[in-house]
């Protein structure tokens, strides 16, 4: 990323530029992964689907009532071999129309946040807990999360990220199976699933638009993500 652009963004957030130094280990009690779903796609379990099959399965899903009012499903976007996987809550109105996550005002801020770390949207993989928009952007219901869970699990398995960034309260609570406030979850490294993928919690960009003074804390979360991902090495793909 162009250093001047990065500096401009940080100044706009009221944050001083920083220089990466020696990495520090971050250890915290691991988060608890959600139980594996038994979702199926036709005659084949979701866990056996490739990308094209999985996306088709999501597009045709009628597993919960949300399919009745959706315009489009919102599958995910970005680099399917990314080191970073960003998981948000659910599509909003803009996402429902365009079929892509984080495309509204909050998405624009998320794009700028990624640019500040030296990455573009296409460098990471972005998806949501839910693949359909809840009415009036209400919180997802447990049965809706359960219906989408197998899809999300398969996306994580296919991407094989080195780090998961849980974006916002709903994502953090569902991925870590907790109701601890985001403010107490952020600032440390959790782990997700049996593979113990490092997971970092940060505020949702929509919240930052309402509470701009919290942007500094979100930048601290991104710094932590950079530190953690800088200590990790991706395993070579299997045969």
> Does residue 57 lie within any of the structural domains?
yes
Which CATH number does the domain housing residue 194 bear? Answer: 3.40.470.10
> Does residue 38 lie within any of the structural domains?
no
Q: What is the CA radius of gyration of the chain?
A: 17
> Does residue 29 lie within any of the structural domains?
no
| 36 φ/ψ sector (left φ>0, alpha ψ -120 to 50, else beta) | beta
**Do residues 95 and 68 make contact, with C-beta atoms less than 8 angstroms apart?**
no
pLDDT score recorded for residue 237: 46
Tally of domains in the chain: 1
Residue 99's domain spans which residues? 3-15+44-229
pLDDT score recorded for residue 44: 62
In this prediction, the residues of the chain whose per-residue pLDDT falls under 70 are 1-44, 231-239
> Does residue 20 lie within any of the structural domains?
no
In this structure, is the dihedral angle defined by the CA atoms of residues 17, 5, 128 and 85, taken in order, positive or negative?
Answer: negative
Task: Render pLDDT for 149-165 as a digit per residue (tens, 0 to 9).
Answer: 999 999 999 999 999 99
Question: What's the predicted TM-score (pTM) here?
Answer: 0.80
> Does residue 53 lie within any of the structural domains?
yes
């Amino acid at each position: 990323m162009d250093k001047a652009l990065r500096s401009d963004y940080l100044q706009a957030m009221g944050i001083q530029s920083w220089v990466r130094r020696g990495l520090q280990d971050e250890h915290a009690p691991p988060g608890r992964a959600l139980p594996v779903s038994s979702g199926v796609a036709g005659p084949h379990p979701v866990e056996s689907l490739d990308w094209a099959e999985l996306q088709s399965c999501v597009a045709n899903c009628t597993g919960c009532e949300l399919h009745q009012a959706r315009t489009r499903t919102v599958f995910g976007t970005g680099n399917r071999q990314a080191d970073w996987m960003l998981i948000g809550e659910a599509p909003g109105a803009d996402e429902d129309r365009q079929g892509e996550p984080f495309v509204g005002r909050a998405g624009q801020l998320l794009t700028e946040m990624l640019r500040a770390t030296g990455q573009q949207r296409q460098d990471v993989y972005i998806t949501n807990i839910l693949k359909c928009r809840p009415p009036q952007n209400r919180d997802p219901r447990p049965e809706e999360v359960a219906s989408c869970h197998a899809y999300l699990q398969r996306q994580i398995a296919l991407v094989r990220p080195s780090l998961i960034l849980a974006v916002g309260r709903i994502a953090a609570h569902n991925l870590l199976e907790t109701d601890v406030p985001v403010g107490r979850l952020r600032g440390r490294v959790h782990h997700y699933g049996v593979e113990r993928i490092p997971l970092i919690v940060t505020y949702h960009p929509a919240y930052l638009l309402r509470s701009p003074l919290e942007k500094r804390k979100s930048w601290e979360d991104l710094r932590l993500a950079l530190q953690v991902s800088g200590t990790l090495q991706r395993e070579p793909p299997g045969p």
